[in-house]
Structure 1
Amino acid sequence: MTTRRRRWPWVVAILLALVFTGIGIVIVPILTHVPQGESNQQAPDEEWPLEASATGDDGRERSIQIVSVEPGGTVDTSALAPGDRFVVSGTGYDPARGIYVAICAIPTEPTQKPGPCLGGVPDQEAVEVEDGTIQFAPSNWINDDWAWRLFGARSFDDRDSGTFTAYLEVPPTADENVDCREVACALYTRNDHTAANDRVQDVYIPLGFVG
């Protein structure tokens, strides 16, 4: 009995060390992140483009493209309706930082965070999803950190090239926060909550809505 009692403090100490180590891995990068600047995206030449690119203040060239879910199909980004689905592919992103991919109001200044966003930010509750499962949602969360992947984040397709794939389903185009029939909205990538005030990964494709 005495031996068992002596073991308990060590077990508790080890468990607490693991807990605090996990918290440190998650919290420290958020608290110590230094914003990298702006994305420097220029206004698109086309009214309704299907792709966009920008070279950020960090020197990385990022690009995104909207792709139809139907092989060989196209997406009419001028007249989207709730329930429409499309795929977003991106490359050049910084895999050290997670991103949200969502439909958000275009801010008046590039130094402002895009938003509000239709459907809000992605759900960050712990979920179990079978590998290879494709889930369409109003917004996607891409983050390669193993801790955040436990809470629903998708991983980058390739870290070296900063490539990702997101699967979007258009939600109702108006809610209590924003009405994309009344204000200009776009498909956006932006840093997730781990670097929320960093605008370097803000890249967008303008969208129009009919319903």
Structure 2
Amino acid sequence: MKRTIAKDHMEKTEYPITLTTFPRLGSPDCIVPSYPASGPKLRSQYVPDEIANPHIRFPTLAANIRWRRGRKVEINVPIFRDEKTQWPFKDPTVNYDLHQWPEDDDVRNGAAKDNHIYMDAMAFGMGSCCLQITFQAKNIQEGRTMYDQLSPLGPILLALTAATPIYKGFLADTDVRWNQISRAVDDRTPEELGEKVKTTPQGSFCIIVRY
């Protein structure tokens, strides 16, 4: 019914489509009115601070994730390769010469991966459309039972809602948004991600207690 109502207000050559993420989010002048990117709250190359909810919770969350990670969030989505895609693909929107915040060094330290679309802010994950439902269990046993029953439904629902094929105006080689949402709030350190080995200072020792 909604699709029919929408078509009544559109041209014959126009068609309503369902997308869970604005396809040009992060592209220049994609927001009206336009605001400059690289603000003090998100420190993103692509999206302005004005895109985030002004409530103190949200800029604080973004800052806390950056602080714990020691860098901005790193979202890399594989680019869709067709016969005209430059290969290897290097995201042309990455500004390697930006020196406004310490986190601007991220891209110079390898944050933007080849053959991927690079994004650097929570907005790219939290800006995705979704329906969130909260369940309350009466005890841990009921919680575990509920979890086990919902686990096989997750992939099915994800496949049914696959409608996220474009990021920053680039066609991606994926059509779901789960990985992007997950990476947008990933606060793990390089050591926790297995990218670095955590070293113990010389002369110190570790005690391992097993329960």
Structure 1 length-normalised TM: 0.26
Higher helix share: 2
Structure 2 length-normalised TM: 0.26
Structure possessing the higher radius of gyration over alpha carbons: 2
